[in-house]
Chain A
Amino acid sequence: MNLEEIKKLIALLNENDLTEIEVEDSDQRILLRREVAVALEPRGIPVPAQAPSSSESTEKTPNQEPDSNLHQVTSPIVGTFYRSSSPDVSPYIELGDLVKKGQTLCIVEAMKLMNEIESDVDGRVVKINVDEGTAVAFGEALFTIEPA
């Protein structure tokens, strides 16, 4: 993917009022987000000065949840999201499960640090925001929980 193509993606994002856009081909993947944009793996791509500087950020503000009753469990590190401890076992939790505070929800891995993320509330999992094996940013919402 070259700079012109990335610029077109940014234009597409803005013109269509999208919050994020993700493009993947055989050897690279780019994820652009508005306001809280995250450049995941292709951080080394030279970005011209006129491009939105926020696209280089690896941080984001916590997701705004329209329903204030819902609780977001966020990632404390940049890494890969896994719903189970290994590929051949069941996920820690499924959509709709009731979870207890302290119950393991997932693992986020970075540089062979396996970080178990535990729920910090009792409640029901109403949304799993991230797909298995995808990269997550610092502060990215992983699960949405309706507190009991």
Chain B
Amino acid sequence: MTSSTMDAGKIRDFCRGNIRLRELVQEVLLFDQVNSTNRVALKMGADGHPGGLVLLAEKQTGGKGRQNRPWFSPSGQNIHLSLLLRPCLPMRDYPIFSPAAAVGVVKGIAKMTGLTVGIKWPNDVMIDAGKLGTRKLGGILLESKTTGDQAVPLVIGIGLNVNLDREDFPSELQSSATSLKIETGKIIDRSALVCMLLEEIAEQVLALQEGNSQAVLQEVRANCFTLGKPVRVTTARQVFEGRAETIDEEGALMIRMGDQLVRRIVIGEITHLRECSN
């Protein structure tokens, strides 16, 4: 395991010096340790923060994924980042921010490392491990609050495995997760990577705010590993299988179940299945 602290000043300077990025980000905070960057950002949003905030932590003691599942968040190795926004869009348009953020993360990683990474719908960040399938580099969890019709804060939380070695992962994650260091063989400058991520996320988020959601969804389709694959969909009430065909104009995944039936998915967990071999 290797360790060096992030440089909040470098990230702030980068945000200020980038015309597009400074439209989105006005404040960068770096904490040594928090419970969860999403939890802190959501609380700040609920307390009236105007948005445009990047919140980073070297360590999370209560990092979480979907349905409060724990997110492995060791100190000084990974990126734990939450972006607090107040989009000037109706709440019903917020879900598209999920794959849009994933596009930004994927493009930022590609720019920094040259790796080919992609999205498992709606927003897991994966690397193609050939015959081993795909391995997870990171995840994204968005959270918001709604009270009546009030404009609400949106928090985009990103957890990315950066400088971990294989043995640093808990045993149950070693076959399914990976890190940028494992994939590149190099220690990654996390501050520089955060800058690349924010620059690319800003492109996608600002495009959504400017009404260009279809351009963003084209990027999602172009970077989505799920499309064309046989998949299993697990929802709270059922499990079914089909082939991921496309992503529609609202970001939903279209699954072909047979000749006559295509199902539209906005919820549920996707598992990529192996192709049947003859």
- Closest CB of chain B to A15's CB: distance in Å? 26
Could you list 9 A-B pairs, sorted by A, with CB under 8 Å? Answer: A28-B263, A41-B265, A43-B264, A85-B67, A110-B95, A111-B251, A111-B267, A112-B140, A113-B142
Identify which of B94, B146, B263 contacts A41 (C-beta below 8 A): B263
Give the number of residues in A that approach B within 8 Å (Cβ atoms). 42
Q: Which secondary structure dominates where chain B touches chain A?
A: mixed
For chain B, residues 24 to 72, give those with C-beta under 8 angstroms from any C-beta of chain A: 66-69
Chain B: residues with CB nearer than 8 A to chain A?
A: 66-69, 90-92, 94-99, 122-123, 140-148, 235-238, 240, 251-252, 254, 257, 260-268
**Whole-angstrom CA separation of A115 from B142 in the bound complex:** 8
**Whole-angstrom CA separation of A116 from B144 in the bound complex:** 6
Q: Give the chain A neighbours of B140 by CB distance below 8 A.
A: 112
- Closest CB of chain B to A61's CB: distance in Å? 15
Task: Judge whether A116 and B143 touch: CB under 8 Å.
Answer: yes
Judged by a CB distance under 8 angstroms, whether A80 is at the interface is yes
Q: Give the chain A neighbours of B96 by CB distance below 8 A.
A: 111
**Whole-angstrom CA separation of A17 from B98 in the bound complex:** 40
Task: Judge whether B143 and A113 touch: CB under 8 Å.
Answer: yes
Name 17 extra pairs, CB < 8 A, besides A86-B67, A110-B266, A111-B98. A26-B238, A27-B240, A41-B263, A42-B264, A80-B236, A80-B267, A110-B95, A111-B122, A112-B98, A112-B141, A113-B94, A113-B95, A113-B97, A115-B146, A116-B143, A119-B147, A138-B92
Task: Judge whether A76 and B235 touch: CB under 8 Å.
Answer: no
**Whole-angstrom CA separation of A85 from B96 in the bound complex:** 22
